[in-house]
Amino acid sequence: MTLTAGLHADIPQSDYLALPYASYSRLKRLRDTCPAIVRYEMEHPPPSTPALVVGSAVHCAVLEPFQFTRLYVKGVEGDGRTKAVKDARAALEADHPGATVLSHADYEMVCGVRDAVAAHPKASRLLEGRPEHTALWTDPETGVQCRGRFDLLSDRVPAVVDLKTCMDASPDAFARSCYQYGYYLQGAMYLQGAQEIGYTAKHFIIVAVEKRPPHVVAVYELEPADLGLGADEVRSLLRTWKRCQDSGVWPGYSDRVERLALPTYAARQIMERIGGDE
């Protein structure tokens, strides 16, 4: 497949993940670890996990509901050693060839998230548009090839909309998640990517949905100042990526003996533990 810069609707997820380009998730790993680990994970991609399978099911159910009923089915519960359950599972697979079988709990969670988003007046309108598009571009400063998988390009507003499941969608908790998981980096990178390929996107909007019933939904747009910080950090990380790419050296943490201080909270906890001995 010949890939050119621009917006693509037909790149399979597996082909997208195999691209050796800089992405939000890889830059986030670079932020949190070191180039050596990022390079290793690119060359040795980890296998899919049950959590990733369920995450893909959520995205399909919410963003491509007509595909969901074809690609995912609710599994048969019960003791898999019994003939009745074995026969029921065999019949299910025969009736739905190639479909991914989800457990009852996971299937109900996915459908609950889908229905909650559909019932939310703002989220449901924002998620009218073009789902699962891949953007490919070249960073103008470093020349690094970049990629992004846009959950949805909204028809309602000039925005890239991203769907996130979480345990707590309240403002304080989700603000912490935005930093921990690097969503501010994602927003900055996706808006830059959209600009580079000529797509007008002024907003990066997150639809956050709690995994547990009643699957509360919240819609967030990061503060412009925080997206500005994200853009600055993306530039810094891309410069590091470029240095590694040009030199062929993806270093670890350090080649030297480094002095290491305990975390700031450690002294207080140590004093609390030994205080009774004085």
Parent domain of 157 = 6-47+120-246
Tell me how far the alpha carbon of residue 33 is from its chain's centroid: 17
Domain assignment present for residue 79? The answer is no
Spatial separation of the C-alpha atoms in residues 147 and 24, rounded to whole Å: 8
Report pLDDT for 37.
98
The answer to whether 191 and 160 are in contact (CB under 8 A) is: yes
* b/e 112-150 (16+ beta carbons within 10 angstroms → b): bbbebbeebeebeebbebebbbbbbbebeebebbbbbbb
Domain assignment present for residue 114? The answer is no
**Distance set, CA 183 to CA 76, 111, 248 (Å):** 36, 25, 29
Domain assignment present for residue 80? The answer is no
HSE-up of residue 249 (Cα within 13 Å, Cβ side): 7
Report pLDDT for 126.
94
Number of domains in the chain: 1
Domain assignment present for residue 272? The answer is no
252 contacts: CB under 8 Å, gap ≥ 6: 34, 35, 36, 37
- Helix, strand, coil percentages for the chain (3-state, nearest 5): 50, 20, 30
Residue ranges of the alpha helices (H) in 64-182? 65-71, 83-95, 104-119, 121-126, 171-180
Report pLDDT for 117.
98
pLDDT in tens, the chain (278 residues): 568 999 999 899 889 999 999 999 999 999 999 999 999 999 999 888 999 999 999 999 999 999 998 999 988 787 767 777 776 777 777 777 888 989 999 999 999 999 999 999 999 999 999 999 999 999 999 999 999 999 999 988 999 999 999 999 999 999 999 999 999 999 999 999 999 999 989 999 999 999 999 999 999 999 999 999 999 999 999 999 999 999 999 999 999 999 999 999 999 999 999 985 65
Spatial separation of the C-alpha atoms in residues 111 and 74, rounded to whole Å: 10
Domain assignment present for residue 252? The answer is no
Domain assignment present for residue 187? The answer is yes
Spatial separation of the C-alpha atoms in residues 211 and 261, rounded to whole Å: 38
Omega prior to 50 cis, within 30 of 0: no
Domain assignment present for residue 254? The answer is no
What CATH number did the domain enclosing 180 receive? 3.90.320.10
Report pLDDT for 240.
98
Q: Could you give the 3-state DSSP secondary structure of residue 244?
A: helix
Domain assignment present for residue 173? The answer is yes
Report pLDDT for 82.
77
Q: What is the DSSP letter of 44?
A: S
Spatial separation of the C-alpha atoms in residues 161 and 189, rounded to whole Å: 13
